[in-house]
Amino acid sequence: MAKRTVADINVKGKKVLMRCDFNVPLDENQNITNDARITKALPTIKHVLDQGGSVILMSHLGRPKGEPDPLFSLSPVAKRLSELLDKNVIMAKDCIGPDVEARAAAMKPGDIMLLENVRFCKEETIKDKAAKEDAQLRQAKDDFAKKIAALGDVYVDDAFGTAHRDNASMYTVPMMMEGKDRVTGFLIEKELKFLGDTVTNPEKPFVAILGGAKVSDKIGVIENLMRKVDTILIGGAMAYTFFKAQGKQVGNSLCEDDFVEKATSLLKEAQDVGCELVLPVDTVVAKEFKAHAENKVVEGDIEDGWEGLDIGPRTCGLFAKKLAVAKTIVWNGPMGVFELEPFDAGTKAVAQAVADATQNGAKSVIGGGDSASAIIGMGLEDKVSHISTGGGASLEFLEGKKFKCLEILDEK
């Protein structure tokens, strides 16, 4: 997916409308607790300013219900951006309307403005399918997008975290800017390069690590990757659905009974295509779902009254051994309930094994979400090749899905 980037166009004297992902975590006092999503947008923003353009930024934050909510205001982001850029960032009162239009019209090269949360307008999240089926919804979404599109001369998409969504600011706005430059920012360029190169041209052996709660969330990924990778390591609660498919008892463990048959077929399919699908050989089980609950390590069947909450020490060693010989690694999903001690041990062990393999020459891509949190929480972010900014987006990318909002951007 070779897309033109902001570096390929002339932005001098132009107003650059840029979609970012500023969906940052806030504490109860509206203070930003992690500004990584802001700092990762800085290279693209600074490039436009350095090249003589002005920047109009837009993003969502949280899930407001289609109306203004001070708890989800982007004001804290504007404040942090001002600090990082050492220049005033104009905070708009809305994302559309006369005030926004007047402020945009008055912008000069070097100016920067952040629109208020686009999800304060219900039109932002109208599904494209719903819009196609309902003329009134389609008109509302189009009218909203036209008002935003009119603010800029150029459209830049640098929000990989929402690249799998058909929200108005991601898809309909650039559609309304046909004939103008529509390009990616440097963050999306990096994501497409790492994820794209990893999946399409990996150095072997290629090992994928998949975890999380549900097999149903990962079926597409498993089906797509088993024809590309040498080994898939399965952890997290999704492993118990595979256990049941093998005829094992899973006790009180989370298990998707409706997908046991599918898990059975995935095991056979992996064998047929020559992909080694590795399940845990031991499990940390507990009687309660809480931190430091009474627990033990079991192999094989899990008794009634006990629930699997993490991979066991033998599995940690097995997975580390598989990763040690890998040349390409993709990881998406935790190995257990890693937010609760001591059931975070498996995820931490895998994080360390991925970092060690990377330091020995492997290329590693961490698929956002909990996997990224584990790597960052252990201070290993500089020991892996790439941490994706999009959990859901990277997952869909690994499934081989196409992203409409990226397909409409300019080709190289």
Closest listed residue to residue 329, CA positions, set 208, 224, 238: 208
Quick check: is 37 catalytic? yes
Task: Please say whether the beta carbons of 275 and 231 come within 8 A.
Answer: yes
Beta bridge partners of 210: 234, 332
Q: How far is CA 373 from the centre of its chain?
A: 12
Task: Please say whether the beta carbons of 308 and 315 come within 8 A.
Answer: no
Out of 62, 220, 317, 392, pick the active-site residue. Answer: 392
Residue 318 identity: L
Quick check: is 317 catalytic? no
Task: Please say whether the beta carbons of 54 and 15 come within 8 A.
Answer: yes
Between β-strands 283-286 and 307-311, what pairing exists: parallel, antiparallel or unpaired?
A: antiparallel
Q: Is the dihedral of CA 250, 254, 258, 261 positive or negative?
A: negative
Quick check: is 369 catalytic? yes
Task: Give the neighbor-by-neighbor strand order of the sheet with 363-366.
Answer: 276-278, 231-234, 206-210, 328-332, 363-366, 386-387
* Cα distance from N-terminal residue to C-terminal residue, the chain: 9
Out of 368, 369, 390, 391, pick the active-site residue. Answer: 369
Closest listed residue to residue 305, CA positions, set 291, 321, 285, 323: 285
Task: Please classify residue 309 by burial: count the beta carbons closer than 10 Å to its beta carbon, then call 0-12 exposed, 13-18 middle and 19+ buried.
Answer: buried
Out of 4, 122, 138, 214, pick the active-site residue. Answer: 214
Q: Which two tokens stand for residue 156?
A: 């830049």
CA-CA distance, 287 to 309, in Å (whole number)?
Answer: 10
Closest listed residue to residue 222, CA positions, set 213, 185, 211, 309: 211
Out of 3, 15, 19, 37, pick the active-site residue. Answer: 37
Quick check: is 214 catalytic? yes
Q: Is the dihedral of CA 277, 283, 284, 286 positive or negative?
A: positive
CA-CA distance, 277 to 271, in Å (whole number)?
Answer: 8
Q: How far is CA 116 from the centre of its chain?
A: 22
Task: Please say whether the beta carbons of 288 and 303 come within 8 A.
Answer: no
State the catalytic residues: 37, 214, 369, 392
